[in-house]
Chains A and B, each alone.
Chain A
Amino acid sequence: MAEFFYMGGYAAFVWPSYGLTAIILWLNWYLPRKQHEIFLRQLRRRNRASQ
């Protein structure tokens, strides 16, 4: 297991690559989702107000 994380001495290059990829993919997934939710909430509030 320790050997796996050691990556033959290249851990300092391999893991940041994977970590950064994970963070950026997550952000591109999460932020639009959040944005969509906020818009939807605003719209519903507006619709209630106009009724």
Chain B
Amino acid sequence: MYLWFHKLGSPPHFYRLAGKWIPWLTALFLMLMLAGLYGGLIVAPADYQQGDSYRIIFVHVPSAWMSLFIYMVMAFCGGVIIVWRMKLAEVVLISSAPIGASFTFLALITGSLWGKPMWGTYWVWDARLTSELILLFLYLGIIGLHNAIDDKRMAARAVAILALVGVVNIPIIHFSVEWWNSLHQGPTVTKLDEPSIHYSMLIPLLLMALAFQVYYVLALFQKCRAELLQRERNSRWVEEL
């Protein structure tokens, strides 16, 4: 187990492995995405209250989930960096940041595009929306801090600390709809009860969520490959490529 972990953590091994996985991940992502879009845009009926506008959730909810998930991955990498100084964790952390920022931005924009016809406003300063906006600033802060420090290993340690500190925001986002009076609805899927959403809508939602999850791994692998190549440009394995 340790040996496997050690091997995975070695940059040349990971570089090759990621390269092999990318075409498969792309195919899987496209299949899930097409199935999800077909289910969400064509099969699922219009909502009896929201009409067709609710179809935005098929991109909004998975984006919002990913924005939290990717942050958790980054915070985990932050812990690994501080304890073991593992190079691959540094690469994964910083390569995840733009993808996470993108999903957070998408969650905010698609949410406000849904909010306009349904709530009557693009934006309110309510707990869920504000904490998600803070998450976007955390992502941008991590990217900015990383770019501001020239020494990559030092930058990684600084960013690791920021990522770990920022993790307090994650439960705040998740529970914001329960702790505060929010315009945003409560959880409909991620709760212990049965989901309060019909299966014709739940299945495409879960397909899209899965597609986004696969997409993250795919985009991450590509970003990591570029990042690894740049960082390790003077090592033997890169010269042999």
* A9, A17, A28: residue with the most chain B Cβ atoms closer than 10 Å: A17
Q: How many residues of A contact B (CB 8 A)?
A: 26
Inter-subunit contact A13/B223 (CB<8 Å): no
Cα distance, A35 to B52, chains bound together (Å): 39
Within 8 A of B (CB), among A1-51: 4, 7-10, 13-14, 16-18, 20-21, 24-25, 27-29, 32-33, 35-36, 39-40, 43-44, 47
Fill in one digit per residue for B19-35: 1 if any A CB lies within 8 Å of its CB, else 0: 00000000000000000
Asked whether B238 is an interface residue with its Cβ less than 8 Å from the other chain, the reply is: yes
The DSSP consensus for interface residues of chain A is helix
The DSSP consensus for interface residues of chain B is helix
Q: Of the 9-residue stretches B167-175, B186-194, B224-232, which lies at the interface with chain A?
A: B224-232
A13 interface neighbour in B106, B113, B241, Cβ under 8 Å: B113
A29 interface neighbour in B41, B218, B225, Cβ under 8 Å: B218
B186 CB to closest chain A CB, in angstroms? 22
B113 interface neighbour in A17, A29, A44, A47, Cβ under 8 Å: A17
Apart from A8-B53, A29-B222, A43-B238, list 17 A-B contacts with CB within 8 A: A9-B51, A9-B52, A10-B55, A13-B113, A13-B114, A13-B116, A14-B52, A17-B56, A17-B114, A20-B109, A21-B110, A28-B223, A32-B226, A35-B226, A39-B230, A43-B229, A44-B241
Chain A interface residues toward B at CB < 8 A = 4, 7-10, 13-14, 16-18, 20-21, 24-25, 27-29, 32-33, 35-36, 39-40, 43-44, 47
